[in-house]
Amino acid sequence: MKSRLMDILKGKFLVSEDAVKNWRFILFASVLAVFMIASSHSVDKKVHEIARLNDEVKELRSEYVDARATMQQMKLESAIMSRLKDKGLKQSETAPKKIVILEGR
């Protein structure tokens, strides 16, 4: 057991007669490790992109809510009347009359 451990530590498994099998496995394990590292970096990039896009969606949603509230305030009759006062327009004191057109007469 002790001699086997010393052979591994000295690297004799890399230069022995059946070292080709060991080198193939080491090469396979190295390629597999490179693919795993690349995949991990790709996933990390996607996670950061998703987080950035979620922040952007939140920002745009709050901007939309703010614009909608401003527009609703501008549509109020009192707001319209106050803006039209500067131009000399005022609200009619008589209610509008509905005109009904009957077909066939």
Q: How many residues does the chain have?
A: 105
* Cβ within 8 Å of residue 83, ≥6 positions away: none
**Once rounded to an integer, what is the mean pLDDT over residues 1-25?**
77
Its domain, for residue 16, covers 2-85
> Contact, 8 vs 16, CB < 8 A?
no
Number of domains making up the chain: 1
User: Would you put residue 98 in left (φ > 0), alpha (ψ -120 to 50) or beta?
Assistant: beta
The pLDDT of residue 87 is above 70: yes
Residue 60 in any domain: the answer is yes
Residue 94 in any domain: the answer is no
Residue 73 in any domain: the answer is yes
Residue 96 in any domain: the answer is no
Tokens of 98: 């509905």
Angle (CA) 21 25 26, round 5°: 115
Residue 101 in any domain: the answer is no
Residue 99 in any domain: the answer is no
- 105 — pLDDT class (breaks 50, 70, 90): low
Q: What is the pLDDT of residues 23-62, one digit of tens each?
A: 888 899 999 999 999 999 999 999 999 999 999 999 999 9
Q: Alpha helices of the chain — where are they, by DSSP H?
A: 2-10, 19-75, 77-85
Residue 104 in any domain: the answer is no
